[in-house]
Amino acid sequence: MKKFMFPLDSLRRYRNTLLEQEQVRLQSLLAELRRLEVRRVQIREEVEQCRLQLQMLAVVPVDHLTALQAFRRHADGEIKSIAQMKISLAERIDQQKLAVKLARRNVEALEKLKERRFQTWRLDVDREMEATVAELVIARFKPLSGT
C-alpha cells in the first residue's frame, strides 16, 4: 500500500502560518492596550504625587498651585486621549479576534479533512492487508485440497 499523502497539506501549513500571524497581531494589539493602561495609571500617580508634595508644604506658593492646576489639566487631557485610543484599540482588537477565529476555523477545517482522509486511507490499508492475508491463507491450503 502506498504511503498516506494529503494533497492539501501545503495549504494546511499556509493557513496555519496565517493563523499564527493573526495571533501575533492580536497579541500586539493587546500589548498596546496594556501599555495605554499603564501610562494612564502613571499619569494619575504623578498627579497624586505632586498633590501630596504640595500638601506637605507648610506654605504653598501660588505659582506652585497654578503649576499643579496646569499639570492636572494637561494630565486630564492625556487621560481623555488615552481613553479615546483605548476605545479605538478595543474595536481593532474585536476585529482581530474575529480574524483569528476565522483563521482558526480554516485551519481546523483542513485538519478535520486530513483526519477523515487518513481514516479512509487506514481502512483501505486494513482491507488490503486482510485481502492479502486471505489470499495467502487460501494459497497455503489450496495445494492440500488439490492432492
pTM (two decimals): 0.74
Helix (H) or strand (E) holding 130: helix 62-146
Contact 111, 9 (CB under 8 A): no
Task: Pick 135 or 92 by higher pLDDT.
Answer: 92
- Say yes or no to pLDDT of 146 above 80: no
- Say yes or no to pLDDT of 94 above 70: yes
pLDDT tens digit sequence for 28-69: 999 999 999 999 999 999 999 999 998 888 888 899 889 999
The per-residue pLDDT for 144 is 54
The per-residue pLDDT for 58 is 85
Q: Which three cell numbers stand for residue 84?
A: 479615546
User: How distant, in Å, are the alpha carbons of 17, 38, 58, 92 from that of 21?
Assistant: 6, 26, 58, 15
CB 100: neighbour CB atoms within 10 A?
A: 20
Mean pLDDT of the residues in the chain? 91
